[in-house]
Chain A
Amino acid sequence: MRSFFLFIIHNYAIFLFILLELLSLGLVFRFDAYHRTWFINSANGVTGNVLNTYGSFRNYFVLRQVNDSLVKENARLREALHPAADDTTHTIVRSASGAVLYTYVPAVVISNSITEPNNYMTIDKGSADGIHRDMGVISSSGIAGKVIATSPHFSLVMSVLNSDFACPVAVKKNNEQGKFRWSGKDPQMIQMVNVSEPGALAPGDTIVTTPASSVFPPDIVIGTLVNYGKDPGKNFYTLDIRLATKMSNIRYVYVVDYLASDELNSLRKDLPNASH
């Protein structure tokens, strides 16, 4: 027994190394994209505030570009908003019968990455502003991500540049359905996979979200077609798409609350392979 302890003491470096590696690798692999967030949530008090302070400082340097895009966005919204009531923080979209369909909460991105294989954003609105998990995040030009965790004043958003990001998408002109996928390399290019019969497409065709999504409203732009081809050995096509949202300098976003999503999800939860 004594020699056993001596052995451990003599080689403590190896054991300490193994222990610390197990601890950190445990952190890496134990948590999937959703469970991982307890760690980030607990850190949000510190990191969220640091990033927020820095973000407000950095905002001054991009004021001009931001102004331009806001002016455009305002014009587009004024045109698009048919009879809809709105207060200052929430924009409300109603159906033809007058029922409330979606609300939009404007938010500012305070941290964002595009170079990792799995990217995340932090935004400056949280559960105190009515944000909750599985709400869609869109920019003025297209989709940007999905909320996966919230703290009172910040939310963590899974960016579209994340291998775990999924959403049903369609070609706008002929409504061919497919699935969203990011290859993990180029932050401007994404793919639409599992398309059975794309029909006659031309580069430049618009790809949009579909009503099948419980996260995004339909017809939000995803990007434009660059080229497409049949997967070798399969009966499916893959479409290469240029992302409409420029993720590298994304600043102002809208968080979409689809009020009927709970209803839709509970209806679907008995399906074996329900996609959301």
Chain B
Amino acid sequence: MQVIKWILRFSGLVVLILFQVLVINNIDLGQYVHPYIYLMFLIMLPFETPRWILMPLAFLVGLSIDMFMNTPGMHAAACVVLTFLRPYLVKFMTPLTGYEGMESPSPANPGFLWFALFTFVLVFAHHLVYFFIQTFNWAQSTYTLLKVLASAVTSTVLILILAYLVMPRKARR
């Protein structure tokens, strides 16, 4: 059962990466908005995933995006930061009832608002690191910050929509 779930997860990852580099990256949404939806894979990994799996996995996912986008190491660095922060955030945001019986974060587990906030914080951290490494220029920091904010909001909304779409039907109600 677990094995099947992981196979599903990784085929989802391949679809996400292709969707990111072939569709999303080809849509021109202006100077400020560059959403990265492939982060959904890292955000929705099981709560219990140990760090020694999380971080190297994030590194490889980032690197494969880098190969398509000609940005060596930039996405990898940002993804590792995201997964480094993730366990702290999971602990910090523990709901009153705990994570009893929940396997991985989704709009139903523990709840929509929780998931939206969780996604936004992680996406924001990723975008902050990515865009600042990319510009590598403090003189443009206001411009870069605006870019981070606009892109993070867009990425979060897109990930929420996608996460809702892949939810099992009985959980949607």
Contacts and interface: CB of A to CB of B under 8 A. Distances in A.
Interface in A99-138: 111, 113-117, 120
A20 B55 contact: yes
B84 A24 contact: no
Contacts of B6: none
B73 A26 contact: yes
B94 interface: no
A24 B74 CA distance: 7
Contacts of B133: 25, 28
Given A17-B55, A114-B28, A117-B135, A36 B72 contact: yes
A21 B66 CA distance: 15
A1 to B, nearest CB: 23
A24 B71 contact: no
A17 B80 contact: yes
Contacts of A16: 51-52, 55-56
A185 B72 CA distance: 21
B34 A28 contact: no
Interface residues of B, number: 32
Given A20-B59, A47-B68, A115-B34, A28 B52 contact: no
A264 interface: no
B84 A13 contact: yes
Interface in B61-86: 62-63, 66-74, 76-77, 80-81, 84
A27 B55 contact: no
A28 B66 CA distance: 10
Contacts of A248: 28
Contacts of B67: 39-40, 43, 46-47
B134 interface: yes
Nearest to A54: B22
Contacts, number: 84
B31 A115 contact: yes
B25 interface: yes
B93 interface: no
Contacts of A156: 70
A24 B135 contact: no
Interface in B12-69: 18, 22, 25, 28, 31, 34, 51-52, 55-56, 59, 62-63, 66-69
Interface of B: 18, 22, 25, 28, 31, 34, 51-52, 55-56, 59, 62-63, 66-74, 76-77, 80-81, 84, 87, 133-135, 143
Given A25-B77, A28-B72, A40-B70, 16 more contacts: A13-B51, A16-B56, A17-B55, A20-B59, A20-B76, A21-B81, A24-B59, A24-B62, A25-B73, A27-B72, A40-B72, A47-B67, A51-B22, A113-B70, A185-B143, A186-B31
Closest 8 CB pairs of A and B: A27-B73, A24-B76, A24-B77, A24-B73, A28-B73, A43-B67, A27-B72, A13-B51
